[in-house]
Chains A and B, each alone.
Chain A
Amino acid sequence: MGLISSTHSMSRYYIEGAFEGGTMEEVRTGLIENAMPKIESEYEEISAGWTPFESPYNPDFEKFSFVFGTYFLFSLRIDKKSIPAKLVQKHMALEIEKKKEESGRDFISKNEKSEIKEFVLDVLMHKIPSIPSIYDVLWSYEEKQLIIFSTQKAANELFETLFLKSFNHKPIRIFPYTKVEKLGKFTDTQKDKILNLTPLKY
C-alpha cells in the first residue's frame, strides 16, 4: 500500500548526513546506480532495488521523476522467489525414484538425498518467477525525515541496507528513544533525566 492509496502502513526514519555536492544529482546517481535491474536474475532468491514511483516495473530514472515538490519520492522493489514446500517434496520424490532406478538399489544414502535436494532447489529456483513487492519511499530531505510504506521487518531491513549503500546516509528508525534524541529539543540535563526513567507502576 503506497502513498496514493486509501489506507497506509508506514514506518518512519530520521536521515543523518548531508550531501556535499548537488543534492538532486547525488540522489539521482544513488537511485540509478542501485535501481532494480531491468532483467530479472534467474538464480537470485531475493533481489532489491529502487524504481520510480510512477513506473515500478520499468526502473528508468531518466524518464520518470523522483522529485515531487520539495520531496523525493521513489519505490523500493523487492523481487522474491518462493518455492512452495510441497513442490520441493514432489520433485524430491520423483528424483529419488529416478536415482533408485538408475542405480538398481532400493535405497539412497543421506548424502545422495542432500545432493538431490540441492539439485531440485537449483532447478526450481531457475524456473520459478520472482514475485515483486513495491514499497513507496517518501524522503523529506530538508527535514531529514523519511517514510517507508512498510512495517515489515524484512523489507525495512533491506531498505536500510540499500539506502545506506545508495546515498551514504544512515537511516535511523523513529521509535521512542530516537524520537527524543532526534526530534526533541531537550537540553543535556533533560536528556539525562529521560535516560534514567524507569517504567511506571500504576
Chain B
Amino acid sequence: MLDIATAYNKYLFLGNEFLTWLWFLIETEQDITKILGSGEPITLEIGNSLSLENNLGDKSKEKITIKGDQAGLEEGTTALRKGAVVTDINLLCKIGEEEYKFSIKGESFNLTGLKTPAIDTSGSEDEIEGMVIEKTFLLLKVTGVIDTLFLKYIERRISENWKNEEFQEIKRWIHVEQ
C-alpha cells in the first residue's frame, strides 16, 4: 500500500471524476438502481450546490460554485468544457421511501450536512440503544450506496470499453448536449 499522504494527493482526481460521473448519470437519467444491482429503487438528484475547480496550470485555480434550490447548472457544464472537475456536490438520494440529503467532497469523501430520514428521539434513556442502532443502520445504508457507486465507477473506468463507450458519452454530454 502506498504512503497515505502521497496516495491522497495522487488519486484525489478519482473522487472528483466520480462526482462528475454522478452528475452525468443524473443529467442523462440513467438507472442508478440497475447500476447498483439493488433490490430497492435508488435515485439521485442534484441538490442545492455544486462546486467545480479548474487548474489553470500556473499554480492558480479557478473555482466555480453554484448554489440555490432551482439553480441552473449551465455555468457548471461550461466550466467542465473548459477542463474543470466537480469537487463538491450536494445530492438528494432516495432509497425506497427514504430520503437522504448530503454534500460530498470528491477528494476526501467527507460528508457534510447529511440528513437521514428522521428517527424518533423522544424515547426514554432505555430506548437510546434502539435509536443508536436505527440511526447507524441509516448512516451505513447511505454510505454503502456511495461506496458501491464509487467502486462501480472504478470498475467501468478500468474496463476495456471505457474509452470508446462511456467516456465518449460523457464527452458528448459535456460538449454537445448542453
Partners in one complex: yes
Residues of A within 8 A of B (CB): 3-4, 6-12, 53-54, 68-69, 71, 73, 138, 140, 147, 151, 172-181, 183-184, 186, 190, 193-194, 197, 199-202
Q: How far is the CB of B7 from chain A (nearest CB, A)?
A: 4
Which of the segments B13-21, B39-47, B63-71, B90-98 contacts the partner chain?
B13-21
Q: How far is the CB of A63 from chain B (nearest CB, A)?
A: 12
A184 in complex: contacting residue of B81, B131, B154, CB < 8 Å: B154
A176 in complex: contacting residue of B15, B116, B121, CB < 8 Å: B15
B118 in complex: contacting residue of A6, A8, A140, A173, CB < 8 Å: A6
A194–B158 touching, CB < 8 Å? yes
A4–B132 touching, CB < 8 Å? yes
Residue pairs across A and B with Cβ atoms less than 8 A apart, 30 shown, are A3-B132, A4-B128, A4-B132, A7-B113, A8-B115, A8-B139, A9-B110, A10-B111, A11-B108, A53-B132, A69-B129, A71-B132, A138-B136, A147-B139, A151-B112, A172-B4, A175-B11, A175-B107, A175-B109, A176-B14, A176-B150, A179-B109, A179-B147, A181-B7, A190-B158, A194-B154, A194-B157, A199-B85, A200-B167, A202-B171
B107–A176 touching, CB < 8 Å? yes
Q: How far is the CB of B62 from chain A (nearest CB, A)?
A: 15
Complex: A53 Cα to B83 Cα, angstroms: 46
A197 in complex: contacting residue of B14, B20, B118, CB < 8 Å: B14
In the complex, which of the residues A7, A68, A186, A202 has the most CB atoms of chain B within 10 Å of its own CB atom?
A202
B2 in complex: contacting residue of A8, A173, A177, A183, CB < 8 Å: A177
**B104-146 contacts to A (CB < 8 Å):** 106-116, 118-119, 121, 125, 128-129, 131-133, 135-136, 139-140, 143
Complex: A190 Cα to B131 Cα, angstroms: 40
Q: How far is the CB of B144 from chain A (nearest CB, A)?
A: 10
Complex: A188 Cα to B142 Cα, angstroms: 28
A9–B112 touching, CB < 8 Å? yes
Complex: A193 Cα to B83 Cα, angstroms: 24
